[in-house]
Amino acid sequence: MILENPLRVGLARTCATEPCVVVIFGASGDLTWRKLCPALFRLAEESLIPREFAILGVSRTPLSDEEFRERLRQGLPQGADSALWEAFSRRIHYHAGDHRDPAGYAALRERLEVLDEHHRIGGNRLFYLAVSPADFPLIASNLAAQGMNRPTRGWARILVEKPFGRDLFSAMELNGELLRHFDESQIYRIDHYLGKETVQNILTFRFANGIFEPVWNRRYIDHVQITAAETLGVESRGGYYDAAGALRDMIQNHLMQLLALVAMEPPARLDAEAVRDEKVKVYRAMRRYKPREVAGCAVRGQYAPGHIEGTAVPGYRQEAKVRPDSQTETYAAVRFLVDNWRWSGVPFYVRTGKRMPRKVTEVAVQFRAVPHLLFSKTPEDALEPNLLVLKIDPEEGISLRIATKYPGMVTRVRWVNMEFQYGRAFAAPSPAAYERLLLDSMLGDATLFSRGDAVEAAWAVVDPILEGWSSDSGSTEPYPAGSWGPRAAEAFIEDEGRHWRRI
């Protein structure tokens, strides 16, 4: 570990990035030149990566180091510092090989040892798997066969792209495979829907304001609505999406995380482990429906042709690489229940959809109405409860709806929203997702990555819904693109005496 460096005291970065080599599998692919290399280069621009550093790209396409560098240079933004790129690119190398072929890994190990020596790295390795998830177990076991999972010097970490599994079974299988060769602490599962900034904004709001925590429970909260709406369709991801659907693509990972942040107990510390412990506890407390109960707790829909911002757009089944009779949901709404002391009886309505009228992500916490009506001059239905909205996208902020007296002789109540937007007032623009992910994994900070047990616990909650839907093929209701989802979704929440928020 790092000896205390007395010169580090008081510097913004209290923790130094250790020397390491980033080994990218899938190096000739899209992700590498488009996202990973520019992100690493920006980290270099900000002097955030160590001096002793190297990149080794691995894929089958035969390329020389020079050719690989040239390919990566294409991905740099306009006006990148060419002198810096010169120095940076000298640390980029390429190794041609088939990652499915176990025989090739001895050569890979030797190559890494040479680089280690050459760039004075000292053994630390970050394996970035930018390949199809089907190949994750294979690469893990091949690395292990050469002892690269348990280095004698330094650390080895393995970073896997999303998605992690397509149901509980496959996720457990994948976890099992990875865990056979690597410890949980070595595995970094990407799930970067929520930026670190957002996560911290929510935690700060909840736990640094003494006035909210006491009312943050079933006695004062009526229900919670979590919405993630996009205006886009499936775009070019038709093939992948058609096999996944909204529940897998958005709810299982992203929205359940958001739910966990809102519902969790205060962690003992703000570090990755403590926060992740609390999140898992929420997943474990979530009601597991029986597949046959699904109709009462979840609704799905699929967009039909319609209009987005005045422009006609095709329906889902007309999109490229989508089966013309597809039942895949592009809209899903689920009522989750968190069966614990704090939340018992408080529904969490979670909805997500493509081709919605607006792009919005938010969490709305609706408080209970006042118990007794003092204001006779106000029509009863105009007396709304307090509402607290944590806005996440497109603009982060908080809004609180409170009742005020209307000016004048009569006691009439008027509702006003107090709005606050983080905007530039506090949040220095947060670094792009991949910069953050790469830096954090080099620093060994797992906050933004999912832990194995959390992934499984989340799958365990949505698995019965998937199962229920698969046995009830007729339940996907079409909705016109540009609307707020299928009619069944309205009925579903109104049956419980509530409404979706108009956003």
Partner 1 sequence: MELETLLAEVSVGHPRPLEIARIVRELDALEREQGIESGVQFRLTTTNLVVVCTEPDQARGLGLLLRELCAEFPCRCLVAILDPQAEPQDMQGWASLTCHPYRRQHMCCEQVILYCPGGQGESIPSLVSATLLPEVPTLSWWRGDPPLGSQFLEQLLELSDRVVFDSADFPVSRLEAVQALVTDRYHQEQAFSDLSWGRLEGWREEIASLFDPPEATECLPALERVEIRFVPGADPLPPQPLLLAGWLASRLGWRRSHLKWAGEDFRARFAGGGGQVELSLRPAWVEGHSGQPLGFLARTREGREFRVDVVRPRRRGGRDAWRNDLEPETARWLEQMGRELSTLSRDVVYQEALESALEMDSFPPEPRLEVVEDLAEAAADLLEARSRASEGPFRVALAGGSTPRRLYSLLAGRDLPWERMRFFLGDERDVPADHPDSNYRMVRETLLEGSPLRPEQIFRWETERGPEQAARACAQALEGEFSGAFPSLDLVLLGLGEDGHTASLFPGTPALHVHDRPAAANPLGGGRGWRLTLTFPVLNLARIALFLVSGRSKSSILRRVLAGEPFPAGRVRAREETLFLADRQAGLGV
Between CA 45 and CA 282 the distance in angstroms is 40
Q: How many residues interact with ligand NAP (rule CB under 6 A)?
A: 19
Site string for partner 1, 19-58 (x = CB under 8 A): x----------------------x--xxx--xxx------
Q: How many residues interact with partner 1 (rule CB under 8 A)?
A: 40
Considering the complex, state which of residue 84 and residue 370 has its C-beta at the smaller distance from partner 1: 84
Interaction residues for ligand NAP, span 58-87 (CB under 6 A):
59-61
Q: How far lies 282's CA from each of 205, 275, 338, 461, in Å?
A: 19, 11, 7, 11
Between CA 433 and CA 39 the distance in angstroms is 9
- Tell me how far the alpha carbon of residue 164 is from its chain's centroid: 11
Contact 56, 99 (CB under 8 A): no
Interaction residues for ligand NAP, span 192-211 (CB under 6 A):
none
Output phi, psi for 463, to 5 deg: -50, -50
Interaction residues for partner 1, span 79-98 (CB under 8 A):
81, 84
Among 224, 488, 465, 206, which Cα is nearest to 350's? 224
Q: Does 28 bind ligand NAP (CB under 6 A)?
A: yes
Q: Does 301 bind partner 1 (CB under 8 A)?
A: no
Which one of ligand NAP, partner 1, none is in contact with 470 (Cβ closer than 5 to 8 A by kind)? none
- Omega cis (within 30) before 50: no
Which one of partner 1, ligand NAP, none is in contact with 211 (Cβ closer than 5 to 8 A by kind)? none
Considering the complex, state which of residue 212 and residue 422 has its C-beta at the smaller distance from partner 1: 422
What H or E segment, with its residue span, contains residue 333?
strand 331-337
Query: Interacting stretch for partner 1, rule CB under 8 A, among 183-191, 316-324, 415-423, 472-480?
Result: 415-423
Out of 5, 74, 78, 152, name the contact with partner 1 by CB under 8 A.
5
In the complex, the smallest distance separating the C-beta of residue 59 from ligand NAP, rounded to whole angstroms, is: 3
Q: Does 30 bind ligand NAP (CB under 6 A)?
A: yes
- Tell me how far the alpha carbon of residue 481 is from its chain's centroid: 25
Q: Does 103 bind partner 1 (CB under 8 A)?
A: no
Strands (E), 172-233: 187-190, 221-229
In the complex, the smallest distance separating the C-beta of residue 198 from partner 1, rounded to whole angstroms, is: 15
Q: Does 134 bind partner 1 (CB under 8 A)?
A: no
Q: Which one from 254, 307, 372, 499 is the annotated catalytic residue?
A: 254
- Tell me how far the alpha carbon of residue 247 is from its chain's centroid: 14
Among 293, 384, 279, which Cα is nearest to 335's? 293
Which one of partner 1, ligand NAP, none is in contact with 420 (Cβ closer than 5 to 8 A by kind)? partner 1
3-state secondary structure of 224: strand
- Omega cis (within 30) before 163: yes
Out of 9, 208, 374, 409, name the contact with partner 1 by CB under 8 A.
9
SS (H, E, C) 20-85: EEEEEECCCCHHHHHHHHHHHHHHHHCCCCCCCEEEEEEECCCCCHHHHHHHHHCCCCCCCCHHHH
Among 238, 98, 185, 235, which Cα is nearest to 451's? 185
Out of 99, 189, 279, 391, name the contact with ligand NAP by CB under 6 A.
99
Quick check: is 254 catalytic? yes
Interaction residues for ligand NAP, span 108-137 (CB under 6 A):
130-133
Query: Interacting stretch for partner 1, rule CB under 8 A, among 14-22, 307-315, 318-326, 456-464?
Result: 14-22
Between CA 85 and CA 73 the distance in angstroms is 8
Interaction residues for ligand NAP, span 145-184 (CB under 6 A):
161-162
Residue ranges binding ligand NAP (CB under 6 A): 26-31, 35, 59-61, 98-100, 130-133, 161-162
Active-site residue list: 254
Residue ranges binding partner 1 (CB under 8 A): 1-13, 16, 18-19, 42, 45-47, 50-52, 81, 84, 122, 416, 418-421, 423-426, 428-432
